[in-house]
Amino acid sequence: SELKRVLEREYVSFFDPMRREYYAPDVSFVDPMTTLSGVDQYQNNVDMLASRTLLGKFLFEDAGIVLHSIEGGELNDDDGTVVSDIVTRWTLRLTAKVLPWSPTARFSGVSEYKVAPAPPSSPVGVRIVGQTDYWDSINIVPESGGRFGPVDASRAVGDFLGQLAPGGFEAAAAAPELPYSLLRRGDGYEVRKYPAYSGVKLPYNRRDEGFGSLGAFTKGMNPLAPALMEVESSDTSDKYMTWPLSFAPPGADSSSSALPPAPSDAVEKAGEGQWRTVRVVRVAETVVAVREFNDASMEPVVRKADRELRECLRRDGLVPAGGGEQVKFAQYDAIFSMGKRRGEVWIDLEEGGHPW
């Protein structure tokens, strides 16, 4: 419908301009922190987040919203009116520049738009009469298969303020990070979409030796973080380490035939001489669930984080791929570095086992 196309354009532009004719004068807006009524208050709230008001210029910068999907809004074949409400799925970010350390807060969730026929005097056929937002981090009802429900506003305030707290001294990053699209910032985990990438992979016994070998192999190739480790349940199975080297640009074809090539130096060296155990790998675009941990990546720490992530996924109705025999974890900081570490466990999600 035309209303869906209008919403798509508004998300891309962060409601600049906002098509006010598609909103009822008394439109309502409810999210976990805010309740508003009237199109003027609605627009003022959006403009504040986008730093287009005086208060917004003081508080925020770099606001943006990514639309992941838009559904509903089916039309009546007889008169062309919308007969179902519209649901969008999105990720929002904004930076609190009012704080000296300029933290960035991120929210993901859904918006449910209540729509109704506009009066005959209106230039549009249907318009939005109400919008209700739910956040993935606090509004998913446990054990409901991913259904959303209301929560007390204090939880929303705590969720927001928790993202603004200073992070402290962090360990130095080993390399620039492989980019991704944040699909969900959930309760205890994230869901991300990673682009197709090429990398190098080798078996290892000790992680420091694996870092040393891949560091020497990729000298001059500008490898990316994180280093990804795969460990089977059996103690006698090989462990593998992968370093990404190149990735597909945004909007690239996600089919296996369009996977990005590895650097020519890597292709020439892999499998030869002292690098006989190193091989070039190409990984397709992936939707992955992630849980962070900050302790050293010892086996009990990693396996505990993996179990906790699997429980989060079960609670929120997301389906892991595979049978759970393998544990995959990521390390972002340079080995032996000082400061707060950043480690993560990763679980690929089953195609069709998630809403993205």
Distance CA(86)–CA(6), nearest Å, equals: 12
Say if residues 161 and 167 touch (Cβ distance below 8 Å). Answer: no
Task: Enumerate residues 6+ apart whose C-beta is below 8 A from 121.
Answer: none
Amino acid letter for position 176: P
What pLDDT does residue 171 have?
Answer: 65
Distance CA(32)–CA(44), nearest Å, equals: 18
Amino acid letter for position 261: P
Report the 10 Å Cβ neighbour count for 183. Answer: 25
Report the percent of the chain where pLDDT is more than 90.
78
Say if residues 317 and 350 touch (Cβ distance below 8 Å). Answer: no
CA dihedral 205→211→212→216, nearest 10 degrees, is 130
Report the percent of the chain where pLDDT is more than 70.
92
Using only C-alpha atoms, the chain has a radius of gyration, in whole angstroms, of: 23
Distance CA(193)–CA(183), nearest Å, equals: 7
Write down the mean pLDDT value for the chain.
91
pLDDT of 93-115, one tens digit each?
999 999 999 999 999 999 999 99
Distance CA(128)–CA(354), nearest Å, equals: 28
Tokens of 120: 């005959």
Question: Confidence class of residue 317 from pLDDT cuts 50, 70 and 90?
Answer: very high
If we measure between CA atoms, which residue out of 64, 22, 12, 70 comes closest to residue 43? 22
pLDDT of 6-37, one tens digit each?
999 999 999 999 999 999 999 999 999 999 99
Question: Confidence class of residue 253 from pLDDT cuts 50, 70 and 90?
Answer: low
What pLDDT does residue 334 have?
Answer: 73
What pLDDT does residue 77 have?
Answer: 64
Distance CA(265)–CA(58), nearest Å, equals: 49
Q: What is the pTM of this model?
A: 0.92
Q: Which DSSP string corresponds to 165-181? A: S---SBPPBSSPBPP-E
Cα four-point dihedral sign 11, 15, 16, 18: positive
pLDDT of 354 over the 90 cut: yes
Q: Which residue has the higher pLDDT, 304 or 323?
A: 304
Amino acid letter for position 242: T
Tokens of 230: 């795969």
Cα four-point dihedral sign 163, 164, 166, 171: positive
Question: Confidence class of residue 249 from pLDDT cuts 50, 70 and 90?
Answer: confident
Task: Enumerate residues 6+ apart whose C-beta is below 8 A from 212.
Answer: none
What pLDDT does residue 323 have?
Answer: 77
CA distances 338 to 169, 295, 334, Å, are: 9, 12, 9
What pLDDT does residue 250 have?
Answer: 72
What pLDDT does residue 262 have?
Answer: 86
What pLDDT does residue 131 have?
Answer: 98
Tokens of 334: 């340079």
Distance CA(295)–CA(293), nearest Å, equals: 6
Amino acid letter for position 9: R
Half-sphere exposure in the Cβ direction for 284 (13 Å, CA)? 8
Say if residues 196 and 260 touch (Cβ distance below 8 Å). Answer: yes
Instruction: For 129, list phi and psi in degrees, rounded to 5.
Output: -110, -15
If we measure between CA atoms, which residue out of 79, 94, 251 comes closest to residue 164? 94
What pLDDT does residue 84 have?
Answer: 83
Distance CA(106)–CA(194), nearest Å, equals: 18
pLDDT of 189-235, one tens digit each?
999 999 999 999 999 999 999 999 999 999 999 999 999 999 986 66
pLDDT of 174 over the 80 cut: no
